[in-house]
Structure 1
Amino acid sequence: MSRGLELRAARVRYGPLEALHGVSLIAPCPGLTVLLGRNGSGRTTALRALAGSVPVSGGAIVWDGADVTRLPAHERARRGLCLVPDRRAVFGSLTVGENLELAHARGDFTAALSAYPELRPLLTRRAGTLSGGEQRMLAVSRALLSQARVVLVDEPTQGMSPAVASRTYDLLAGLDAGVVVAEQRLPPGLRGRAGRAVVVYELRRGEVVFAGEAAEVPAADRPGPAG
């Protein structure tokens, strides 16, 4: 039996427009998979299709060898899939502490504060008042607390400092789960990462144009120098 989450020739339509044109990919579980692409490439749609938050008009979604194409998003979540969207990923009207309590079955969020000590002085703040980077820390820490079998994250490090972004990828790569992230460019540090290989798919206009390991990503898709 395959241990992973797959799109098999998946097609997704938004009204008359087709956003994915028969995309196939395999995200190993456990393992880290990166979906690369510019805005409009289909990377976010692929992530949502895996989560079940958008339906596929063709093809299939397979999880650990079982067809889950018709399984609704809440059932996939119940089976251990966690989606962190790029927007509205936290409960803005709740405090940081309340957000974290809800993410863990027993309300224990000690691990989140160990991962992101920056959140400790913010525990009584409403999540909606946090900066973009702070909200991403909170959203990712909620995913870490969920102990999910599969974690899907759209632009996990948006708004974070380089040091916190690097730590975030260390945390995600260290999970005993299938982790799939959507990014515009390959994050620094993943190319030469020791240990488990990082799988990369690049999407362009709804199609996969590259599939391989992080070390094989074409130079044009590597992060450039800051400037």
Structure 2
Amino acid sequence: MIIALRHARVRYGPLEALHGVTLVAPGPGLTVLLGRNGSGRTTVLRALAGTVPLSGGAVVWDGTDVTRLPAYERARRGLCLVPERQAVFGSLTVRENLELASGARPFDPALDSYPQLGPLLPRRAGTLSGGEQRMLALSRALLARARVVLVDEPAQGMSPTVAARTYELLSGLDACVVIAEQRLPPGLRASAGRTTYVHELRRGAVVFSGEEAEATGAARTGRAPGSERRPAP
């Protein structure tokens, strides 16, 4: 499984948010999009999911150009987007959110992943804390059995222990997983036999593409990952 952007451009009115971005996310495995606020990492996720249109370039999924495929069709084909905000149905209970995600299947795997949700099942999702809502949103993504999982800041609001568990869960999925973060998570570990890939964005352009070890090494020497390698044209 591979999902990619090819020379992708996205505009918000007169402003261009992505300037011909090319990047690849292979799967099963983990790809991290790094960048500060305004770098374009969230827009990359939205472009892959189809929730924002491209003004140029293409989205390619398993060798097929899906640029014109609407977001709901991408979802039907196995793509799941977990946005940073409004990722749960706030007016529904935790139980109802999980039931929607699991369909006719039991939602026990979600409680196995995040036991903290068990006592919260009768609560409305909108009353949960930020970290609890992230756990619920990610549980819904885990239950969806998606082929491509896109997550914007998965551990936001979580304790370090729960955050580490979250990265472990995402790394172990049999899917192409793409997460957007401001910096490399300290507890990030690739699953056995897999490589974690990193793309760093600045001002709507990719300045580094490589393996997680390269990005980590550059950070330790005090150099920006982008000074180590730039993506091939």
Q: Which TM-score bucket, shorter chain as reference?
A: over 0.9
- Structure 1 residue 192 displacement after superposition: 7.3
Give 3-state SS (helix, strand or coil) of 1:90's partner.
Answer: coil
Q: Distance in 2 between matches of 1:184 and 1:82?
A: 21
- Structure 1 residue 91 displacement after superposition: 0.2
Instruction: Figure out how many residues of one structure are paired with residues of the other and give that number.
Output: 220
Structure 1 ranges of 4+ moved more than 3 A: 191-195
Residues 1:32 and 2:60 are matched in the alignment: no
Cα gap change, 1:39/1:177 in structure 2, threshold over 3 Å: closer, same or farther?
Answer: same
- Structure 1: which 5+ residue stretches go unaligned? 223-227
Q: Distance in 2 between matches of 1:77 and 1:9?
A: 23
Give 3-state SS (helix, strand or coil) of 1:179's partner.
Answer: strand
Q: What residue is the counterpart of 1:225 in the other structure?
A: none
Q: Distance in 2 between matches of 1:188 and 1:17?
A: 34
- Structure 1 residue 193 displacement after superposition: 6.4
Q: What residue is the counterpart of 2:144 in the other structure?
A: 146
Q: Distance in 2 between matches of 1:212 and 1:193?
A: 17
* Residues 110, 143 of structure 2: 8 Å contact kept: yes
Q: What residue is the counterpart of 2:172 in the other structure?
A: 174
Q: What residue is the counterpart of 2:231 in the other structure?
A: none
Q: Which amino acid is 2:55 matched to?
A: S
Structure 1 segment 91-106 matched on structure 2, within 5 A: 91-106=89-104
Structure 1 segment 117-136 matched on structure 2, within 5 A: 117-136=115-134
Aligned partner of 1:52 among 50, 53, 63: 50
Q: What residue is the counterpart of 1:202 in the other structure?
A: 200
- Structure 1 residue 106 displacement after superposition: 1.1
Cα gap change, 1:193/1:78 in structure 2, threshold over 3 Å: closer, same or farther?
Answer: closer
Q: What residue is the counterpart of 1:71 in the other structure?
A: 69
- Structure 1 residue 29 displacement after superposition: 1.8
Q: Distance in 2 between matches of 1:101 and 1:51?
A: 23
- Structure 1 residue 31 displacement after superposition: 1.0
Cα gap change, 1:128/1:91 in structure 2, threshold over 3 Å: closer, same or farther?
Answer: same
TM-score by length of 2: 0.92
Q: What residue is the counterpart of 1:9 in the other structure?
A: 7
- Structure 1 residue 56 displacement after superposition: 0.4
- Structure 1 residue 135 displacement after superposition: 0.2
Give 3-state SS (helix, strand or coil) of 2:166's partner.
Answer: helix
Q: Distance in 1 between matches of 2:156 and 2:58?
A: 30
Q: Which amino acid is 2:57 matched to?
A: G
Q: Distance in 1 between matches of 2:131 and 2:183?
A: 18
Q: Which amino acid is 1:126 matched to?
A: R
Structure 1 segment 73-92 matched on structure 2, within 5 A: 73-92=71-90
* Residues 109, 143 of structure 2: 8 Å contact kept: yes
Matched-pair identity in %: 76
TM-score by length of 1: 0.94
* Residues 148, 177 of structure 1: 8 Å contact kept: yes
Structure 1 segment 101-120 matched on structure 2, within 5 A: 101-120=99-118
Moved more, 103-112 or 151-160: 103-112
Give 3-state SS (helix, strand or coil) of 2:92's partner.
Answer: coil
Q: Which amino acid is 2:186 matched to?
A: P
Q: How far does the alpha carbon of each residue in 1:60-104 deviate from its partner, in whole angstroms, 9 at most, with x for none?
A: 000000000000000000000000000000000000000000001
- Structure 1 residue 190 displacement after superposition: 2.4
Q: How far does the alpha carbon of each residue in 1:115-170 deviate from its partner, in whole angstroms, 9 at most, with x for none?
A: 00000000000000000000000000000000001000000000000010000011
